[in-house]
Structure formats: structure tokens, C-alpha cells
Amino acid sequence: MAGFPAALLPITPALLRQLEQWLAEDLGRGDLTAAALIGRQGRAHWQCKANGVFCGGVLVEPLFRLLDPALQVRLLVADGEPVCAGQRLLELEGAASALVAGERTALNLAMRLSGVATATAALVAQLAGTGVRLADTRKTTPGLRLLEKYAVRCGGGVNHRLGLDDAAMLKENHLAWSGGVGPAIAAVRAAAPWPARLIVEAETATEAEAAVRAGADALLLDEFPPEQLAVLVPRLRQLAGGAALVLEASGVPPDGLAAVAACGVDLISTSAPVSRSAWLDLSMRFEPGWV
């Protein structure tokens, strides 16, 4: 299995503050074992205990350097690369107290993100050769959205909206409370303070066609069976009259991705890699005899 292109995760001041908060959650009033390690230097390495896709290595150095600014990290595997059980992932060298204190927080983050990347890669593999991309959703863990969406990219997926300000998605409740597709689109177009895509979630062919006629930029076709999509997608393209129209399918069972992709949609969105994935088991091994 080939690795996916490296995704970018800037280590911003905001992200550093989050790392500090997560370390503080575990450290509390201080590591009670630190007294046994004063003045000691240590070496350690990470090892993978199962096959998968690695993610989270980019966080290791900034996290541990909050505890020891001189600590050195050597990444042996880049985020987004496939890994196998027993493989060495990275090496660390620095104050022993820092290695012990940061171990659990760093591993927890990497195991969670590697699990998301691994689950994403498994679904992306089903779409190989179709030209259809796998997209994530806003169903993310509060406080972890940026990192979980980064993990999706490391697994070969693409990011949908990062938040409600990225694009306007009109769903069933918006359409019901605003008087229908036309009035809802008109209201959002008139009030949007910056250029943004306008997406309409459609649960019926009638809603989808009305959204295209009203000028939606994209449609989220929710829980349409493949046999219906095969007829509806060409009709929607024809209604768009050559205008760019992104068609996204959602509510697709994990074993049904290829059948939906064959219908001509551009995206298949799913929350499964974030909401249903298991952590990828990683461990940190300390190397004896280093003082």
C-alpha cells in the first residue's frame, strides 16, 4: 500500500496552547515520579503494534519540547505513510522526566489520529480509479476537529467544511422553516458577508431539482440508492446547463461506496472514519542504560 501525499498541519500558537492544555490535564500539579529522574537523560522510540496508516508524528516534537526545549525527535515515518506491526516510527532523546511526562498525551493523540487515518484509507481504497473523492463531515470530537480533519487528509480523504462559516449548507430544517428551497437560497445569498459556496441537502429528487433551478452551487444527496442516483445525476447535470455543480452523496453504507461512485457523483461524504474508528495501537519503548 502506497502512502498518501503529506498533508499540511501548521503548528500555530493556538495549536501549541491546545498541546499545553492537554499536557496539563495529565500532569495536574506535577508528575510525582519526576524526582527519581532529576538530571537523567533518556532515549526512547515508538513502535507500531498493528498495521495501519500513521498520523500524529508532526505533533511529537512540539509537544515534548514544551517539557524539554532541548529534546530531539527523529521521525522515521511521515504522517500518511502505511505502517506494519513491529515497525519503529520515531526516536526521541532528552530529559528522562520529559519523556515520561509526555508519553501518554503524545501517544493518545497519535493513536487516535492514526486510527482515523487508517479507517479513511480503507474507504478511499474502495474508490480507487473512480475519480470520486471521500470527504469528511462536521461530526468531529469537540476540540479535535482540526486534528481529526488532518488525519482524514493523511488517510487520503478530503475535508468538507471546517465550520459553519466555510460554506452555507441548507438542510431539512432550514428549508422547512424558511418556506422552501427558493426562499432559503435567496435569503442566504442576500445576507452572506463573504463569498461562500451554497450547498443544499436534498432527500428527494424533487428537492434536488428545485435546488439546481434556484442556483445552488452543490447538492448533498442524502441516502439515495444507487439505482436512483444513476438516473438523477445525469438529469441534475443537464438542469445545471453546463454550470459547475458539485454532487455529493451521503448516507452510503461502507460496503456500498463503489456502487454509488459509479453513478457519477463527485464526492461521497461520511463521518465513519472519525466517529467509528478504533485507535491504532502504538507504544513507546524506553532504551535502558542511557543516563
Instruction: Give the domain CATH number at 242.
Output: 3.20.20.70
Mean pLDDT on 244-257 = 94
Are 19 and 155 in the same domain? no
**Per-residue confidence at 185, pLDDT binned at 50, 70, 90?**
confident
Catalytic residue (one of 43, 138, 171, 237):
171
139 as an active site residue: the answer is yes
Nearest to 120 by CA among 163, 154, 77: 154
Mean pLDDT on 172-183 = 77
pLDDT, tens digit, for every residue of 7-58? Answer: 789 999 999 999 999 999 999 999 899 988 999 999 999 999 999 999 999 9
201 as an active site residue: the answer is yes
So what's the pLDDT on residue 165?
82
Mean pLDDT on 78-107 = 97
Q: What is the edge-to-edge ordering of all strands in the sheet holding 72-75? A: 72-75, 88-95, 41-48, 282-287
So what's the pLDDT on residue 171?
86
Residue-wise DSSP of 180-217? SHHHHHHHHHHH-SS--EEEEEESSHHHHHHHHHTT-S
Are 68 and 153 in the same domain? no
98: Cβ contacts below 8 Å, ≥ 6 apart: 64, 67, 68, 71
Are 136 and 26 in the same domain? no
Are 184 and 91 in the same domain? no
- Looking at the chain, the whole-number percentage of residues with pLDDT higher than 70 is 97
**Per-residue confidence at 2, pLDDT binned at 50, 70, 90?**
low
In this structure, the number of other CB atoms found within 10 A of the CB of residue 39 comes to 8
Helix (H) or strand (E) segment spanning residue 64: helix 60-65
171 as an active site residue: the answer is yes
Higher pLDDT, 57 or 289: 57
**Per-residue confidence at 191, pLDDT binned at 50, 70, 90?**
confident
Domain encompassing residue 224: 129-275
**Per-residue confidence at 4, pLDDT binned at 50, 70, 90?**
low
Most confident of 3-12, 110-119, 153-162, 173-182: 110-119
So what's the pLDDT on residue 289?
63
**Per-residue confidence at 180, pLDDT binned at 50, 70, 90?**
confident
CATH number for the domain harbouring residue 61 = 3.90.1170.20
In this structure, the number of other CB atoms found within 10 A of the CB of residue 164 comes to 9
Are 57 and 165 in the same domain? no
Q: Does residue 1 have a pLDDT over 60?
A: no
Provide the sign of the torsion angle of the four alpha carbons 69, 74, 77, 83, taken in this order. negative
Q: Is residue 76 part of a domain?
A: yes
Q: Is residue 4 part of a domain?
A: no
Nearest to 206 by CA among 227, 175, 248, 178: 175
Mean pLDDT on 232-249 = 93
Are 108 and 146 in the same domain? no
Mean pLDDT on 245-265 = 95
Are 55 and 139 in the same domain? no
Q: Is residue 165 part of a domain?
A: yes
Are 202 and 74 in the same domain? no
Mean pLDDT, the chain, whole residue set = 92
Q: Does residue 178 have a pLDDT over 80?
A: no
pLDDT, tens digit, for every residue of 210-233? Answer: 999 998 999 999 999 999 999 999
Catalytic residue (one of 49, 104, 145, 237):
104
Catalytic residue (one of 81, 93, 103, 201):
201
- 101 within 8 A of 67, measured Cβ to Cβ: yes
Q: Which residues of 136-149 are buried (b: 16+ CB within 10 A; e: fewer)?
A: bbeebeeebbbbbb
Catalytic residue (one of 40, 74, 88, 139):
139
**Per-residue confidence at 251, pLDDT binned at 50, 70, 90?**
very high
Mean pLDDT on 146-161 = 95
